[in-house]
Amino acid sequence: MLYPKPLSPKSLARLYAEAGLKEEQIDFLHTFFSACANLYGVVFAEDAWSVYRELSSKTETPHILRRNMYAALEIMRREDLSFYVFEADEVYSKEPRRDGARIIVLRELVGPSYVKFRELYKVEESSYGKPFYVPENLLSFTAPQETPQEQALLRMLNGLRSTCSEYTDAFGKTRNCPYKGKYLREFSYINEYNSFELSLLRGEIEGRKGNPKKAAELEAKLNSVTAARYLVDNIKRNNNVGTKYAADLFKSFFDDLRAMGVVLSNDGQPNELLNAITETCNNQHIWRNHGWTPNELSARMRYGGTPTISFGPGMQKAFADGSMDKDEISRILRAMGFKIE
């Protein structure tokens, strides 16, 4: 099922007029839905209505009727926005269409055709049953928020330098490292996973049609940020969506550092980075928590016992070869509120 193509501004204006929406209401709803998409990643129309009601009780907002909101969402399917508006049966094949079941989804959560809704499903499943974070300044979330903890982590990474001309990948293969002599703030980085994804999108993998436009967009995005920024964004992305094994987030981070040719000193530098990552993750407003930071949600929800995690095979291998300290990572995860299985 193809997503509908955008309409002309004239056609959109006519549809909004027919729906009885004024310019002030239209502008507000565009900002409101963009903020919801950035803060929650995925939100159903009926939940967006509840969020609007709560926001209206905290701060002044234009008066919007539920039917107006649902009508606006139907029209926004025909606009080129930072989010998609899917009908229920476009995401869940057996779900009947209805106004309240439309789904607002941040564009970056929708992947290529072969994994189109994989991350959407993960976020929706992880966030189920959690309350929505509705601050007075919700409309400021039309762009991702950068926390002091994230800024501190980025400063640490900007100061790291590539010193190796070769590195050993996760499969024990020796590979060339082209970044030697450069700081992480001075070059962009494409890891093995991104390189494979680019090959798929370019149609270089047999049996895959490819999508040159999306390939160009992905390559431009990866080349637009420094290696340090990439590492921070990747941590935030994994924290937003969730990983199968929470501790694998750390392993992925150190694998990328090694591929960049960075060798950490043994005077506490690895632990400083681990602590900075932990602080960044615990103070980030994340999709799988319906916008709450882990620290805020932990303080709000003191029930259901302690969440338990286990170390995946990748982490076990890193512990065995001594590239990661199991005791230190266990300590950090316990400080985050996890029970180690």
* The predicted structure's pLDDT at residue 303: 44
Rounded CA separation 192/213 (Å) = 20
Rounded mean pLDDT, 237-241: 92
Question: pLDDT tens digit string along 81-105?
Answer: 999 999 999 999 889 999 999 999 9
Among the residue ranges 83-92, 167-176, 203-212, 226-235, the one predicted with the least confidence is 203-212
Residues 105-132: what's their mean pLDDT? 89
Q: Given this model, what pLDDT does residue 283 score? A: 95
Q: Which pLDDT does position 196 carry in this prediction?
A: 82
pLDDT tens digits, 125-142: 999 999 999 999 999 999
> Of the spans 5-14, 111-120, 250-259, which averages the highest pLDDT?
5-14
Question: What is residue 317's predicted lDDT score, i.e. its pLDDT?
Answer: 64
Return d(Cα 87, Cα 120) in angstroms, integer: 14
DSSP-assigned letter for residue 104? E
pLDDT-derived band at 164, boundaries 50, 70, 90: very high
Report domain extents, the chain.
Answer: 9-142, 148-189+226-340
The end-to-end CA distance of the chain, in Å, is 43
> Against a cut of 0.85, is the pTM above it?
no
Model confidence at 326: pLDDT above 80: no
Res 304 pLDDT > 50? no
Confidence of residue 19 (pLDDT cuts 50, 70, 90): very high
Residues 126 and 109: their CA atoms lie apart, in Å, by: 14
Report the candidate in 89, 95, 87, 104 with the shortest Cα–Cα distance to residue 30. 104
Q: What's the whole-number mean pLDDT along residues 313-317?
A: 62
In the block, tokens 């980085």 appear at: 189
**Nearest CA-CA partner of 209 in 197, 201, 217:** 201
Which of 224, 182, 185, 336 is closest to 274 using CA atoms?
336
Least confident stretch, 46-55, 61-70, 115-124, 226-235: 115-124
Tokens describing residue 108: 């970056």
Q: In the prediction, which pLDDT does 7 show?
A: 97
pLDDT band at 305 (very low <50, low <70, confident <90, very high): very low
DSSP letter (8 states) at residue 140: G
Query: What average pLDDT does this structure show over 255-273?
Result: 88
Q: Average model confidence (pLDDT) for the chain? A: 88
Q: Per-residue pLDDT tens for 71-81?
A: 999 999 999 99
Residue 290, both tokens: 């319906």
Residue 329 near residue 185, CB atoms below 8 Å: no
Cβ contacts of residue 157 below 8 Å, gap of 6+?
184, 185, 227, 228, 231, 232
pLDDT digits (tens, 9 = 90+) for 186-215: 999 988 878 888 888 888 877 777 788 888
Q: Over the stretch 140-160, which tens digit does the pLDDT of each residue have?
A: 999 888 999 999 999 999 999
Residue 339 confidence (pLDDT): 60
- CA 257 vs CA 25, 144, 183, 185, 231: distances in Å: 47, 24, 12, 13, 8
Q: For 24-107, where are the E strands, in sequence order?
A: 42-44, 83-86, 103-106
Site of tokens 């001594």 = 322
**Count of beta carbons in the 10 Å neighbourhood of residue 39:** 26
DSSP letter (8 states) at residue 292: -
pLDDT of residue 107: 94
Q: At what angle do helices 313-320 and 248-259 cross, to 10 degrees?
A: 60
pLDDT at 185 over 60: yes
Burial 242-277 (b: 16+ CB within 10 A, else e): bbebbbbbbbbbbbbbbbbbbeeeeeeebeebbbbb
Check: CB of residue 341 under 8 Å from CB of residue 308: yes
User: Which residues of 78-133 form beta strands (DSSP E)?
Assistant: 83-86, 103-106
- The closest alpha carbon to 136, from 195, 38, 212, 57, belongs to 57
